[in-house]
Each structure stands twice: as structure tokens, then as C-alpha cells.
């Protein structure tokens, strides 16, 4: 029968208008989980709602929040690429001291060079705990480390060669009294702005989390 034409109802014989079938409607996600839903949606709208629920959170500017494995990879790439860092130390009384230093990431430790008579060297001799930072708040890597070894640059030919190849200068050629300090990471954090403060740890107690 053509659309819009009447036909008799099988029970009372009255004419009934034939209408096209209504679009199938499905409940929103909240209703499906047992919570009252404010409205219903078509299948297409429901699919879009589910996509929004499972879409990764995004940083300002549209980039997605990174997972731990991605943050680790980015942190390692940054340490291998950028060799200028901030190094903070403290004396036994807890008075802090911070300097900018060149650093070589050898795959396990950070190797830094400074004068043996400097305040940084004296602090590390008394208190081996240190904190390292690189980058800006929009892309930061922060490291808690322990100084595990120190030696004069003249007595460390292999170390000096690796350091010079990485950072572009050799402390053996800039004067006497320079020393290498090997810093072993204990905790590494990687974050891009305040949105990534949560989940910023990629290493805890010297163990990678991914």
C-alpha cells in the first residue's frame, strides 16, 4: 500500500494512517550502566558519545597526553640530544646551590664535569644527593640522582673521550683541577605543562616504569 493511504485496523476496522517507521533509538552510555539518562540518542549519536568517552585526554593546543612509555622515550631522547642542564646540590646543612653544567648521558648515568674546588664538588663530597633539570615547564625532565663516583679528568681518558664527543669540549683542555662526577638517576619525571603532572614518573627507585 502506498505511503499515506488508509487501511483498516484488524481489530476495530477503523482506518489507520500508515507512517514510515521511526528511527531506532538507543539509550546513552549512562543509562546503559544503570544510571538514569536525560535523553536518548540515535545509534550514530550513541557511537559518537562512546568515542568521546574513550578518546585520550588532550593538552592545550590539541596534542594528546603521553603514556609512560612515550614519556620515557621522549626523556631519553632529550637527555641524549641536550647536554646543558641545571644541577642542584646541597651541603650537610641543607643549603642549596645550583649551577648550569654540561652533561653526558651514557645510557645509564649522567656524567658532569666541574672544578674540584667548586661549591658543587664540595657539596657532592659531603652530600651525594643531587637534582637535575632540563627543558622548560612546557617540556621538562627532572631527575633525582645520587653521585656514585668522582675522579680527576686526567685519570679518566675513556670517560673524557666520551664526554668530549657528546658535549663538544674536553675538560682536560680548559685548565687544571677539573673532575668528573657520575650521577645515577633514582627518580625521573617527564611532563609537559600542568596537564601532565599526573603520571609524570617514568623511573622510581632506579627502575623504569615502562
Neighbours of 156 (CB within 10 A): 21
Find the radius of gyration of the CA atoms of the chain.
32
Contacting residues for 134 by C-beta, under 8 A, at least 6 apart? 78, 79, 82, 84, 85, 86, 140, 141
Provide the β-strand partners of residue 38. Answer: none
Coil, strand, or helix at residue 176?
Answer: coil
Q: Of the ranges 3-7, 38-42, 124-128, which is most confident?
A: 124-128
Residue 147: which of 103, 181, 115 has the closest Cα? 181
As a whole number, mean pLDDT of residues 119-147 equals: 97
HSE at residue 15, side-chain half, CA atoms within 13 A, is 4
The full set of domain ranges for the chain reads: 6-54, 68-208
> Mean of the per-residue pLDDT values for the chain?
82
Q: What is the mean pLDDT of residues 35-63?
A: 51
pLDDT tens digit string along 155-202? 999 999 999 999 999 999 999 999 999 999 999 999 999 999 999 999
C-alpha 96/C-alpha 21 separation (Å) is 75
pTM of model > 0.75 = no
Tell me which architecture the domain covering 68-208 has in CATH: Roll (2.30)
Amino acid at each position: 500500500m502506498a505511503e499515506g493511504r488508509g487501511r483498516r485496523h484488524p481489530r476495530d476496522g477503523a482506518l489507520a494512517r500508515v507512517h514510515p517507521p521511526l528511527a531506532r533509538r538507543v539509550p546513552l552510555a549512562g543509562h546503559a550502566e544503570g544510571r538514569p539518562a536525560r535523553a536518548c540518542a540515535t545509534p550514530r549519536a550513541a557511537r559518537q558519545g562512546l568515542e568521546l568517552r574513550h578518546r585520550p585526554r588532550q593538552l592545550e593546543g590539541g596534542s594528546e597526553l603521553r603514556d609512560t612509555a612515550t614519556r620515557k622515550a621522549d626523556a631519553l631522547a632529550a637527555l641524549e640530544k641536550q647536554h646543558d642542564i641545571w644541577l642542584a646540590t646541597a651541603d650537610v646543612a641543607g643549603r642549596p646551590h645550583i649551577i648550569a653544567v654540561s652533561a653526558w648521558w651514557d645510557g645509564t648515568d649522567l656524567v658532569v664535569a666541574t672544578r674540584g674546588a667548586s661549591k658543587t664538588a664540595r657539596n657532592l663530597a659531603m652530600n651525594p644527593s643531587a637534582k637535575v633539570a632540563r627543558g622548560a615547564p612546557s617540556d621538562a625532565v627532572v631527575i633525582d640522582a645520587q653521585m656514585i663516583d668522582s675522579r680527576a679528568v686526567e685519570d679518566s681518558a675513556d670517560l673524557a673521550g666520551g664526554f668530549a664527543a657528546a658535549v663538544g669540549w674536553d675538560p682536560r683542555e680548559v685548565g687544571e683541577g677539573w673532575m668528573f662526577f657520575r650521577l645515577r638517576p633514582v627518580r625521573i619525571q617527564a611532563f609537559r605543562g600542568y596537564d601532565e603532572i599526573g603520571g609524570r614518573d617514568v623511573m622510581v627507585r632506579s627502575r623504569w616504569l615502562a
